[in-house]
């Protein structure tokens, strides 16, 4: 039995581990925390369903993953800039909500259960030097952080809902969101740049959502997070394979990273099983998506005013929003022409990122 060491027990690391064990490998996962999902506190997060033609459910099945965690499809979404609202109803789920952290029903706990059932050997409260690992899944690099998150999760009596706010008072150059699924809610601001404003932005976020929705909040808990992004992140170094945010795999526009983490873990395992070049496989899948998200960030900041009314107009007048989002997450012709300009713009503003 071939032996593989994985550093980090996040979604990307455990996805790689599950696939390797099922292919006959002996896999050891080393996690420096005492359990999975320690970065989170019951947060609701989305697996977006627009950047690939294949539905997320089918993707998970093809990655040999079971849905043994809370997994709520959302086909309705409201977008607001505080002064007006636009509602969408999609033919298929626009995203699936999952819970994160060391809590019952979370994605993290579900992947842990699948890993243990498959025979993965997991060492908690234990780490190894990065150079001793075969797969590095250590999560975001704090030195390469373009965005931070502040918010709360809570229990509530209101119906399921998903609302996004674009406004620089509630989320500077980012967005705020209110998500409720089966009596459980999450309200956050995602702020780009000027991180010192994040607490003020979250106060404005709460004010806006309580004005929009008759919201009751019980058993409130604070949540926070960061994200890492890179166009030229390291996929392989000295024989080590890098997955998830350790490879900079994040969406630079809105920060959807879970699906990319799962996919990179699966591709890393596949490359070992089939004895193929992981760098080549990962670049084929991710490179254009990463370039597209960089251009999207450039367009977002160039076209976005304080209240993002122009962007709201574009989304409202799009006949098929999901097809529109698919195009703008897969490096379309407009993005290809703008990429050199967008790259220089982002380089000037984000000198800490690998671009």
CATH code: domain of residue 238:
3.50.50.60
This prediction's pTM: 0.96
Instruction: Taking residues 293-315, report their average pLDDT.
Output: 90
Q: Please, what's the largest Cα pairwise distance for the chain?
A: 61
Task: Note the pLDDT of residue 307.
Answer: 85
Q: Do residues 63 and 170 both lie within one domain?
A: no
Q: Which range is least confidently modeled, 44-58, 129-143, 171-185, 222-236? A: 222-236
Residue span of the structural domain in which 57 resides? 3-72+100-142+228-286
Of 183, 202, 227, which closes a domain? 227
Mean pLDDT of the chain: 95
Q: Do residues 152 and 235 both lie within one domain?
A: no
Instruction: Taking residues 318-339, report their average pLDDT.
Output: 96
What Cα–Cα distance (Å) separates residue 96 from each residue in 41, 53, 162, 228, 344? 18, 15, 11, 22, 34
Instruction: Taking residues 146-156, report their average pLDDT.
Output: 95
Given a cut of 80, whether residue 10 has pLDDT beyond it is yes
Which tokens go with 2?
A: 């071939």
Q: Do residues 25 and 120 both lie within one domain?
A: yes
Contact 63, 19 (CB under 8 A): yes
Note the pLDDT tens digit of each residue in 66-120: 999 999 999 999 999 999 999 999 999 999 999 999 999 999 999 999 999 999 9
Of 241, 271, 286, which closes a domain? 286
Task: Note the pLDDT of residue 229.
Answer: 82
Q: Do residues 300 and 268 both lie within one domain?
A: no
DSSP assignment of 245-304: GGGT---TTT---HHHHHHHHHHHHHHHHTT--HHHHHHHHHHHHHHHHHHHHHHHHHH-
Task: Note the pLDDT of residue 91.
Answer: 93
Task: Note the pLDDT of residue 323.
Answer: 96
Indicate the number of domains in the chain: 3
Q: Do residues 320 and 273 both lie within one domain?
A: no
Q: Do residues 297 and 273 both lie within one domain?
A: no
Banded pLDDT at 235 (limits 50, 70, 90): very high
Residues contacting residue 13 through CB under 8 Å, at least 6 positions apart: 6, 7, 29, 135, 137, 243, 244, 265
Cα dihedral 42, 235, 195, 207 in deg (nearest 10): -40
Given a cut of 70, whether residue 354 has pLDDT beyond it is no
Q: Do residues 239 and 189 both lie within one domain?
A: no
Of 286, 304, 330, which closes a domain? 286
Instruction: Taking residues 132-144, report their average pLDDT.
Output: 90
């Amino acid at each position: 039995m071939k032996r593989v060491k994985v550093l980090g027990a996040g979604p990307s690391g455990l996805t790689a581990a599950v696939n390797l064990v099922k292919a006959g490998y002996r896999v050891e996962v080393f996690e420096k925390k005492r359990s999975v999902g320690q970065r989170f506190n019951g947060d609701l997060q989305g697996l977006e369903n627009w950047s690939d033609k294949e539905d997320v459910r089918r993707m998970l099945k093809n990655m040999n993953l079971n849905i043994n965690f809370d997994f709520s499809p959302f086909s309705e979404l409201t977008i607001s800039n505080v002064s007006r609202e636009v509602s969408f109803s999609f033919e298929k789920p626009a995203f699936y909500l999952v819970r994160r952290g060391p809590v019952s029903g979370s994605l993290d706990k579900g992947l842990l259960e699948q890993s243990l059932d498959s025979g993965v050997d997991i060492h908690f409260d234990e780490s190894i030097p990065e150079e001793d690992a075969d797969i590095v899944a250590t999560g975001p690099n704090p030195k390469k952080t373009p965005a931070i998150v502040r918010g709360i999760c809570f229990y509530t009596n209101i119906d399921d809902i998903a609302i996004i706010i674009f406004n620089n008072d509630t989320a500077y150059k980012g967005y705020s969101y209110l998500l409720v699924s089966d009596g459980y809610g999450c309200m956050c601001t995602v702020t780009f740049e000027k991180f010192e404003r994040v607490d003020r932005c979250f106060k404005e976020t709460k004010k806006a959502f309580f004005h929009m929705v008759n919201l009751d909040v019980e058993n409130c808990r604070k949540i926070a997070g960061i994200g890492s992004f890179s166009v030229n992140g390291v996929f392989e170094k000295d024989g080590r394979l890098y997955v998830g945010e350790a490879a900079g795999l994040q969406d630079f526009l809105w920060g959807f990273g879970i699906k990319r983490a799962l996919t990179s873990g699966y591709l890393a395992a596949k490359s070992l099983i089939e004895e193929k070049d992981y760098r080549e496989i990962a670049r084929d899948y991710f490179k254009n998506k990463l370039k597209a998200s960089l251009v999207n960030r450039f367009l977002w900041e160039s076209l976005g005013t304080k209240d993002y009314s122009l962007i709201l107009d574009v989304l409202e007048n799009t006949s098929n929003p999901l097809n529109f989002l698919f195009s703008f997450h897969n490096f379309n012709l407009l993005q290809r022409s703008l990429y050199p300009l967008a790259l220089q713009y982002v380089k000037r503003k984000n000198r800490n990122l690998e671009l």
